[in-house]
Amino acid sequence: MKTKAVYRKQYKQASGRAAGSSKAGLAKSFSNKITEVVKATAGEDAIKLVKIMASGRNVSEFRIVKSAKLDIQKVRNLLYKLHSSNLADYKRVKDNSKGIYVSYWTFNKAIVNELFSRLHQEKLQRFRERLEVEAGNVNGFFICPAACSRADFIKAEQQNFRCAECGQLLAQDDNTRTIDVLREKIREMEAVPA
Ligand SMILES: [Zn+2]
């Protein structure tokens, strides 16, 4: 079952300008692509690490930890996430004076365009699927006035047309605007070279 926050986010994306649709018509700059890809792959905190790594090659994990001001375990987890998507490479080198291994990290920007276009295709696919659901069920959804839940007719009926989250009476949702927004979004995304 979806959490409220996830639901709200999706609802916002599909129903409004909150997702930044005014910008979507423009091709993204390379640095925006990096941010988007890194965030989608390893989360917001990883952007910090990428910025530190981008300052050179073979940046030691200790320097990354120090500059990022994050816990070493957290940094390592993020680095391995980046590594598993090929966004970062590392080598381990033995520090003979201390007798420990240190990993040195390099950001692999050559993979960014490929990952970005994959993300773009996945997102486009989700919008198309969502459009199919919405367009196949015009005005067939019921929504809570506080926007905390939405249900199709069968589900709404089972709940006696009450919101499963807050108990308020559900209202029929005019989803024609949602359909228009989704169509527009898809059109924009298809037009942008990813
Ligand atoms: Zn509600």
- Give me ligand 1 centre to Cα 11, in Å: 13
Cα–Cα dist 169/161, whole Å: 6
- Could you list the residue range(s) of the whole structural domain that residue 85 is in? 30-111
Average pLDDT over residues 39-46: 96
Contacts of 167 by beta carbon, 8 Å cutoff, 6+ apart: none
Instruction: Note the pLDDT tens digit of each residue in 4-18.
Output: 444 444 444 444 444
Q: From the CA of 173, how far away is ligand 1's center (Å)? A: 13
pLDDT tens digit sequence for 79-116: 999 999 999 999 999 999 989 999 999 999 999 999 99
Mean pLDDT of the chain: 88
Rounded to the nearest whole angstrom, what is the distance from the C-alpha of residue 129 to the centroid of ligand 1?
25
Asked whether residue 66 is assigned to any structural domain, the reply reads yes
Domain assignment of residue 52, yes or no? yes
- Indicate whether 78 belongs to any domain: yes
Q: Among 130, 124, 123, 129, which Cα is nearest to 40's?
A: 123
Dig out the tokens for 32 from the structure.
């925006």
Q: For the domain that residue 107 is a member of, what is the CATH number? A: 1.10.10.10
What is the domain count for the chain?
A: 1
Ligand 1 centroid, distance to 20 Cα (angstroms): 26
